[in-house]
Amino acid sequence: MVVGSVLVTGGTGYIGSFTALALLEADYKVVIVDNLYNSSEECVNRIELISGKRPVYYRCDITDEPALDKVFDEHQDIDSVIHFAALKAVGESGEIPVEYYRVNVYGTICLLRSMSRHNVTNIVFSSSATVYGDATRFPDMIPIPEHCPLGPTNPYGNTKMTVELLITDHVAAQRNNAKKTGKSGEEWNGALLRYFNPAGSHPSGVMGEDPQGVPYNLLPLLAQVAVGKREKLLVFGDDYNSKDGTAIRDYIHILDLAQGHLLALNYLREHHPGVRAWNLGTGKGSTVFEMIKAFSHAVGRDLPYEIAPRRAGDVLNLTANPARANEELGWKAKHTLEEACEDLWRWTKNNPQGYRQQPPQEFVEKLKVGKK
Ligand SMILES: NC(=O)c1ccc[n+]([C@@H]2O[C@H](COP(=O)([O-])OP(=O)(O)OC[C@H]3O[C@@H](n4cnc5c(N)ncnc54)[C@H](O)[C@@H]3O)[C@@H](O)[C@H]2O)c1
């Protein structure tokens, strides 16, 4: 039985693919659009390998409105979108901001226009803890609650905040317009999911993060050091006001993050809240040095690193207060940081070419046995 149909933009990317998997496992029909800018179509096969169900996939750019229209025309049962497609490298966003606004903001405008034409009324948006900027500029805002004033410190964060405003204004307008015609308009809803630091891979070892270029996040970089693709990790700043001088982040297992999307989507479809923001994080902060230690433990040896100057736009502490998602969505991070490190290491060690190689046969066999 299918419980609903969802379009997932950026669904072959890291978080999108895990969310597509969670949706299929919860009996949603999933249609993915992605232009493969930072991902591989092979992950559609991996999703099928794990879940036994295959998402529909279109190679499609979200700035191509007619192409989006065609997808909605072909799948008129879609009533919701989970929107991941974006450029996401903070440093690069400072070099080519116009491109970031084109893909992230204009791409979302194209998506919302096409959704409206096809009466697709729920959107779950991939926002980021980056929208808060430096929350330590206010007293008592660590761990960060959703009411913390926004203040991104880089162009990437600015695009995320802009899209949050765009969705908020769009949903409010659609509701108002509906009211003018005597309808409730309550079918128009948006979830702004502010992720903290996604980490880890699928425990089966056949699905994980496989970025096309240089990874930006700490754990994939450490994983590259561990397999010898990179000589050492650069630690950007050891003069922060933390217990060991390195920056603090809240690392959340990718399986928990994917589950958060499923629960937020269900919440929109059942409770019609309008637009609502939820933090998806664990509530526990870890420093860069603590992460190096945790991942080195999973690998079984110390990994080399070097201290480098702070990176522009980085902040001291991004740790979530996840109470709102815990209470309203019934969502809680279940997997530990140690599991994230072990799962990431299993994926990296056994799939050094990511999706450009076949997964180890023993892992595939294990999945088959598990399904019997
Ligand atoms: N990974 C993180 O640390 C993190 C943290 C907070 C928020 N986010 C947000 O979550 C979302 C997903 O991030 P991710 O880590 O999975 O990144 P990702 O790069 O793996 O996924 C993004 C996907 O979007 C696709 N894409 C890019 N431009 C496109 C376009 N014009 N048309 C169609 N598809 C396009 C890429 O090919 C990729 O598959 C992004 O919006 C990102 O900003 C990520």
| C-alpha span between 109 and 101 (Å, rounded) | 11
Distance 131 CA to ligand 1 centre (A): 16
Any atom of ligand 1 within 6 Å of the Cβ of 319: no
pLDDT digits (tens, 9 = 90+) for 285-331: 999 999 999 999 999 999 999 999 998 878 999 999 999 999 999 99
Residue 372: which pLDDT band, with cuts at 50, 70 and 90? low
Ligand 1 pocket check: which of 18, 35, 88, 221 to mutate, most ligand atoms within 8 Å of Cβ?
Answer: 88
The region of weakest confidence among 109-113, 147-151, 226-230 is 226-230
pLDDT for the residue 222: 94
pLDDT for the residue 216: 78
pLDDT for the residue 178: 97
In this structure, the residue with its CA closest to atom 11 of ligand 1 is: 84
| C-alpha span between 99 and 189 (Å, rounded) | 28
| C-alpha span between 308 and 302 (Å, rounded) | 19
For the stretch 301-323, what's the b/e string if a residue is b when 16 or more beta carbons lie within 10 angstroms of its beta carbon? eebebeeeeeeebbbbbbbbbbe
* 146-167: average pLDDT: 97
Q: Whose structure tokens read 């595939």? A: 364
Any atom of ligand 1 within 6 Å of the Cβ of 35: yes
* 58-83: average pLDDT: 98
- The answer, yes or no, to whether residue 345 has pLDDT greater than 90, is yes
pLDDT digits (tens, 9 = 90+) for 93-107: 999 999 999 999 999
Which overall architecture, per CATH, does domain 4-371 show? 3-Layer(aba) Sandwich (3.40)
The 3-class secondary structure across 152-175, one letter per residue, is CCCHHHHHHHHHHHHHHHHHHHHH
Residue 89 near residue 156, CB atoms below 8 Å: yes
* 36-44: average pLDDT: 96
Q: What percent of the chain has pLDDT over 90?
A: 94
Any atom of ligand 1 within 6 Å of the Cβ of 67: no
- The answer, yes or no, to whether residue 41 has pLDDT greater than 90, is yes
pLDDT digits (tens, 9 = 90+) for 265-290: 999 999 999 999 999 999 999 999 99
Beta pairing, strands 317-318 & 248-249: parallel
**Which atom of ligand 1 is nearest the CA belonging to 212?**
19
Kindly report whether the peptide bond that precedes residue 152 is cis, defined as omega within 30 degrees of 0.
no
| C-alpha span between 132 and 161 (Å, rounded) | 9
